[in-house]
Chain A
Amino acid sequence: MKGQLLSFPSSTEGRLAQIHGTPLLLLDCQRLRQQYRALAQALPGVDLHYALKALPEQAVVNTLAPLGAGFDIASSGELDLLRQAHVKPRRVIHSHPVKKSREISEALRFGCTSFVFDNRVELEKFQRYRHRIGLVLRIGFRSPSASVDLSRKFGCSLGEVPNLLRQAHDLGLRVKGLAFHVGSQCATPDAHVHAIRETLRLVRELKASGMARIGLLDIGGGFPVDYGGGVPDIAGFCAPIRAALAEAPAHLRLIAEPGRVLVAPAVRGLFSVVGCARREGRPWYYLDDGVYGSFSGRVFEGARYRLRSLRQGPLTASVLAGPTCDSIDVIAEGVMLPELQVGDLLVADMLGTYSAASATNFNSLPKTPLLPLDDAKENSVVL
């Protein structure tokens, strides 16, 4: 809706929408830095590897890399973002437990030599690279409190560990670390604490029995952000995790793979109303982005988005729908909104995670552009 007269051009959002058009995602680089620093402070001694899949954008990498961040990659496609930002390969871990052999060589050619695995078949893919790499075995710990339980699809059981270590050893492969990923958006740190205790016990046992010398523990992600339901702040959530990690032997390198907690609060979206209707007594507003685009988290993780209008007026329970022809393209129902008109602007906060990253181009709609805003840099857009 570029160029069209918007209802509230005097607001910051209105000005940006007028200049750049909608739909538009805004990345607040300063907020991203704050999130990174807050987590780094809450987990001293833990190297943070940003999970690129949450929002694989160059501006995110460029903002995090100078802070000393590492990166967790899930595919070769993410390597170019790291190359552009001159990320040191030693700071990168390939954390997808199942991949094509070609993905291994592509990551190696970038210089990443740390790879996660969780099964025997995967081990065989690594054999020809065995003198160049170090492996990290992912163990599954189910997390009842997570909004997305990541231990169903990936992670071996504790009981499988000895066999997998033996098989790795027989193939000439070095298992240097253990990893777990209890889930995404965890309500409590209980699952982390449990998994840390179990893996540290395992590290001690493996050392005592001479089965493996584990030098790395990857505690994954799952750090929650507040979508409105109320969650502990970063420091509060991490305090029990930090206490559990205090038991780790001094030689153990600790890493975490935060995604959501870093980027979710750093992105907001600007959308325009493109159509209005009244159906079954309720107002329906059609936006220029929907669940096939920036609101894809609605489908993939049941995300509930909070959208706000800049217009004043009596509020009515309304339905917000996306632009595609599909009937499931409904962003939110029962949203309390004033009466809107075509061209009105809506703002959605907390859009950084698994929104743009999992957007499709269904109906041949282009991907919503992301605009980095950085107060700390002169040559970028300043609010």
Chain B
Amino acid sequence: MSRFVETLYDSYGQEFEFDEIYFERKTDHQQLTIFHNPVFGRVMVLDGVVQTTERDEFIYHEMLAHVPILAHGGVTSVLVVGGGDGAIIREITRHQAIRQITQVEIDATVIEMSRQHLPNHSAGAFDDPRLEIVIGDGLEFLQGQGERYDLIICDSTDPIGPGESLFDHAFYSAVHSRLARGGVFVAQNGVPFHQLDELQSTYRHLSGLFGDACFYSAAVPSYIGGIMAFAWASDDPGLRKLSEASLRERYRAAALACRYYNPAIHLASFSLPEYLLQALQEG
């Protein structure tokens, strides 16, 4: 019986007992570990930080996919930056109206090893004919020539390591230029109780570029320290002012059966606690 100690913080942290290691190696970009924990199931770790677990990934992925898709209401093309475990693709492919999904992942090994050792994450979504996978740098891809997307999702690591360029002005600016009219951008933005700097920095960038920038949240147990923030940016402020009734209609039409997401949670998740609102004001 061994233990993995997450080293996200110096003076505080979480540890996982593991009874099996499926993969542990340095890829071309990062140290990748996948092990099994009795409570969380299979756990993926990059550079010492927990990225996703079988037991609680539904919270993160349902919120990162369905909130923008249902708020927009007419998404046909999606760009995913990161998301190599495949679960975000799984949630997106559940929407039949979406015609085209492009995924840009920098680390091919993460996709390969997730297909092999985290099969429930992608649940076959990597074989969906609507999906095109590009192995490459997200920032470079966005800065290149190409089409615009109704929705851009950034499902990345924290901004230390390969995800670093996905948190600066050049990236957000490229995102803005590659969004279709009325499009929306969402991104994982860390646990703000501990990573307030990141929340403030993202907010500064996004509010300067988009007509509407904010965050919504969900508590994901394996991301320790409270609620996780998802960045939200669009030039259409109306997208997050829908009534619960119209969200309910879209949810029904999409025929989704979710375990975390529902229209009431959708609306409530945009309400932030006072300490975060103040931080954004001061930021």
Chain A residues with a Cβ under 8 A of chain B: 80, 83, 88-90, 105, 108-114, 128-134, 174, 176
Contact = CB atoms under 8 A, between A and B. Distances in A.
A202 B57 CA distance: 47
B10 A89 contact: no
Given A110-B47, A112-B7, 4 more contacts: A89-B7, A90-B7, A111-B48, A174-B10
A114 B7 contact: no
A128 B160 CA distance: 10
Contact of A108 (B11, B26, B160, B196): B160
A134 B9 CA distance: 9
Question: Which 4 A-B residue pairs are closest in the complex by CB-CB distance?
Answer: A111-B48, A111-B7, A134-B10, A113-B10
Chain A CB within 10 A, most for which of B7, B48, B194: B7
Contacts of A89: 5, 7, 48
B10 A176 contact: yes
Contacts of B160: 105, 108-109, 129, 132
B8 interface: yes
B14 interface: no
A109 B48 contact: yes
Interface in B17-59: 26, 30-31, 47-48
Q: By DSSP majority rule, is chain A's interface helix, strand, loop, or mixed?
A: mixed
A128 B197 contact: yes
Interface string B111-151: 00000000000000000000000000000000000000000
B237 interface: no
A253 to B, nearest CB: 12
Contacts of B194: 131
B11 A176 contact: yes
A156 B161 CA distance: 31
B195 interface: yes
Contacts of A174: 10-11
A130 B11 contact: no
B10 A110 contact: no
B14 to A, nearest CB: 13
B11 A110 contact: no
A113 B5 contact: no
Contacts of B164: 105
A129 B10 CA distance: 11
B8 A109 contact: no
A131 B5 contact: no
Contacts of A90: 5, 7
Contacts of A80: 26
A83 B5 contact: no
28 contacts: A80-B26, A88-B5, A89-B48, A90-B5, A105-B160, A105-B161, A108-B7, A108-B160, A109-B30, A109-B47, A109-B160, A110-B31, A110-B48, A111-B7, A111-B48, A112-B7, A113-B7, A129-B160, A131-B194, A131-B197, A132-B8, A132-B9, A132-B10, A132-B160, A134-B10, A174-B10, A174-B11, A176-B11
Nearest to B164: A105
Nearest to A105: B160
A73 B8 CA distance: 19
Given A83-B26, A131-B195, A131-B197, A109 B161 contact: yes
B229 to A, nearest CB: 14
Contacts of A114: 10
A116 to B, nearest CB: 13
Contacts of B30: 109
Contacts of B31: 83, 109-110
Interface string B153-171: 0000000110010000000
Contacts of A109: 30-31, 47-48, 160-161
Q: Could you say which of B10, B11, B26, B196 has the most chain A C-beta atoms within 10 Å of its C-beta?
A: B10
Most chain B CB inside 10 Å of its own CB: which residue of A108, A109, A112, A130? A109
A113 B5 CA distance: 12
